[in-house]
Every structure is written in structure tokens, then in C-alpha cells.
Amino acid sequence: MSRIIVFCGPPGAGKGTQAQKVSEEYGLKHLSTGEMLRAEIASGSELGQQVDALLKQGNLVPDEMVLEMIRGCVTQAECSVCGERKVCERGVVLDGFPRTLEQAKALDEMLARNDSKIEHVISLEVAEDVLIERIEQRIRESGDAIRSDDSEEVLKNRVRVYQEQTAPILPYYEEQGLLRRIDGMQPIDDVTKAIGTVLGKVKVA
């Protein structure tokens, strides 16, 4: 696998948008654990119902569950997630994973077993008051398409969960020299440009 790019940032930082752009521009597979979990919920499975309850509260799902979901893709084993093995081989953009130190360490081990490693960890940084305003705006604008984990109470819990459980992965990656902090409060196109500067100009056709 050529490139493994990790996106992290608090809810509302725009990581989904930016991860999607990077995956299109560089020809990498976009893997969003949040989307995979929402697909599980939509399938109506029993597991989906348990996942739904956690997402509705803004809490994380257990580490082992997400590790199982992405294991196939990042190890180039038979991919049970998307079936697009060719795209995965070029590399992946991990959006919303890892979200705990345990997940980060497990990912490193998985990659090391395959002689692979993370190339960059892009951290989109946004001040907390700006985050809350962004999500409130998303709620106002989205009408009946509001995500069940977008209510203000849940959002505040998600920000807290981010600070307590996810933010500790930043120093972990900083120590490894992988962390690239990007100001996520800039206009979207400027954030995209800043990410492009980190990733370089070589794009996969």
C-alpha cells in the first residue's frame, strides 16, 4: 500500500469534506468509520441497533468493532468493507479512525505486520466556540435531514468525547513526527490548499 493518510479533528472540523477531496484528487480509498457504522445501522441488523444507541448519545463504539471493520482494508487482506481492493492498494484516507490511543496503537501494529506505515496525520484544528456555531448552522440548514447525532446536547458530548478520548492520539503521533496541524477555521478551499502542500503534488491518475 503506497499511502496511508489519517484525518482527525473534532466533530464539525470538516474532516469528512477534506478527506473526500483528498481521496478523489490522489486516487485513494476514502474510509470513514462513521459512514460504515451508519450503514450498519441502516441495514437494520442487531449490531446496527446497538451501534445506533451509542451514536445517538455521541459516544464511541467499542475499539474492537471499528478495528474489525477496517482491518481488511489496511492490511490488503480480502476487503470485506468495500470490495474495491484495487483502490485500497493505492492507499487509503482514514477519516475518523483512529479515535482512541488503543485504536492508534492497534493500527500501527496492523500496518507494521504488512511493512506499511502512516505517511501523515492531518489534524484539522478548530476552536470550540466555532465548532458549536458550525454544527448549529448545520442543524438550521439541514431541515429534516438532521443526523441523529447532531442535536446540540449530543454535539457537546461528542466534543467532550473528542477531547477526552481522541485528542490523546495527537501527542502520540507528534512524537513519531507524523502530525501535521492545519488551521481548520480557514475557508474550505484554503484548508484544501494547506493539505495539498502537506501531501505534495504527485497525484495518482
User: Cβ of residue 202: shortest distance to ligand AMP, in angstroms?
Assistant: 27
What secondary structure letter does DSSP report for 59? P
Is residue 29 among the annotated active site residues? Answer: no
- Residue 37 engages ligand AMP in binding (rule: CB under 6 A): yes
User: Cβ of residue 97: shortest distance to ligand AMP, in angstroms?
Assistant: 4
With CB under 6 A, what is the number of residues at the site for ligand AMP?
Answer: 19
- The piece of 27-35, 109-117, 132-140, 182-190 that touches ligand AMP (CB under 6 A) is 27-35
Report yes or no: 157 and 141 within 8 Å, Cβ to Cβ.
no
Strand order in the sheet with 3-8: 29-32, 91-95, 3-8, 120-125, 179-183
Q: Look at residues 3, 25, 5, 2 and name the one whose alpha carbon lies nearest to residue 15.
A: 5
What secondary structure letter does DSSP report for 43? T
Tell me how far the alpha carbon of residue 145 is from its chain's centroid. Answer: 21
Q: Is 120 helix (H, G, I), strand (E, B) or coil?
A: strand
Among 18, 33, 116, 123, binds ligand AMP (CB under 6 A): 33
User: Which x/- pattern over 79-98 shows residues binding ligand AMP (rule: CB under 6 A)?
Assistant: -----------------xxx
Q: Which residues are catalytic?
A: 15, 99, 138, 147, 158
The footprint of ligand AMP (CB under 6 A) covers: 11, 32-34, 37, 54-55, 58-61, 66, 96-99, 103, 149, 158
